[in-house]
């Protein structure tokens, strides 16, 4: 069982990159999504860290053809319902909250909880989660940490989305592992570029991220 819809997981994995964004002005949501898409990044996680986050999701969902928009920092069942109603296709969280996972299962809504310990992985597996967010990846061992923590469970088909501290330089290493479904990157569309409306720079970052994923995945994957 996997509470994350296989078709959505496949699209996310095919993209390779998830642009993790924080928006303070809902009016910037559409041009942001269009800039990301122009650079080849067609999956974004819009975090619920600002009052306009739900409005931004509504602005993008169903209006930017080809963009898969999800919600991040979803911490409660109420927020899960809100992002679903706003049009988000999926949601993720920084940690593992059994109540939120149970609500996602009841709703039939794709959700990936955050993990960083074996106990959290086992709790997520018990709840039917096979796609997991590994957070904060940059400070809890990176890819080496993922490989070590996943070793006892790899035969169960789990895959990870590392987020937190990833850079263009470190992303390529993650893409070389079959454990990685996609990489989450806040560097693709940082808050300062969004605030400045620098869509050209964001498009260039997205193109860079797309090229990194494509090049890394063209190489033989490393299983050890």
Q: At 155, give phi and psi (nearest 5°).
A: -70, -10
Is residue 1, in this structure, part of any structural domain at all? no
Count of domains in the chain?
A: 1
Contact call for residues 133 and 110 (beta carbons, < 8 A): no
Is residue 224, in this structure, part of any structural domain at all? no
- Please indicate whether residue 133 is annotated as part of the active site: yes
Q: In terms of residue numbers, what domain contains 195?
A: 6-216
Among residues 9, 28, 34, 45, the one annotated as catalytic is 45
Is residue 187, in this structure, part of any structural domain at all? yes
Is residue 19, in this structure, part of any structural domain at all? yes
- Please indicate whether residue 45 is annotated as part of the active site: yes
pTM of the model: 0.94
Give 223's contacts (C-beta < 8 A, 6+ positions apart).
177, 178
Among residues 9, 28, 34, 133, the one annotated as catalytic is 133
User: Which tens digits make up the pLDDT trace of 76-85?
Assistant: 999 999 999 9
pLDDT tier for residue 62 given thresholds of 50, 70 and 90: confident
Is residue 167, in this structure, part of any structural domain at all? yes
Q: At 13, give phi and psi (nearest 5°).
A: -65, -40
pLDDT over 90 at 219, yes or no: no
Is residue 223, in this structure, part of any structural domain at all? no
Going by the DSSP 8-state scheme, the letter that residue 176 receives in this structure is T
Burial class (CB in 10 A: 0-12, 13-18, 19+), 87: middle
Residues 161, 120, 92: CA angle, nearest 5 degrees: 40
pLDDT tier for residue 223 given thresholds of 50, 70 and 90: low
Is residue 73, in this structure, part of any structural domain at all? yes
Is residue 221, in this structure, part of any structural domain at all? no
CATH code at 114? Answer: 3.20.20.70
Contact call for residues 70 and 21 (beta carbons, < 8 A): no
């Amino acid at each position: 069982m996997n509470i994350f819809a296989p078709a959505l997981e496949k699209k996310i994995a095919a993209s390779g990159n998830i642009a993790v964004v924080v928006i303070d002005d809902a009016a910037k949501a559409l041009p942001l999504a269009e800039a990301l898409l122009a650079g080849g990044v067609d999956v974004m996680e819009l975090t619920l860290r600002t009052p306009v986050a739900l409005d931004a999701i509504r602005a993008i969902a169903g209006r930017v053809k080809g963009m898969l928009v999800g919600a991040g920092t979803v911490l409660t069942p109420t927020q899960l319902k809100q992002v679903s109603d706003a049009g988000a296709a999926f949601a993720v969280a920084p940690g593992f909250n059994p109540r939120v996972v149970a609500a996602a299962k009841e709703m039939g809504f794709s959700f990936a909880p955050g993990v960083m310990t074996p106990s959290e992985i086992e709790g997520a597996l018990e709840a039917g989660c096979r796609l997991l967010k590994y957070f904060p990846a940059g400070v809890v061992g990176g890819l080496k940490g993922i490989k070590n923590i996943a070793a006892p469970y790899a035969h169960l088909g789990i895959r990870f989305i590392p987020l937190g501290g990833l850079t263009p330089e470190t992303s390529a290493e993650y893409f070389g592992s079959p454990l990685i479904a996609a990489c989450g990157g806040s560097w693709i569309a940082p808050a300062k570029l969004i605030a400045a409306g620098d869509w050209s720079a964001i498009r260039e970052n997205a193109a860079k991220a797309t090229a990194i994923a494509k090049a890394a995945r063209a190489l033989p994957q490393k299983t050890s």
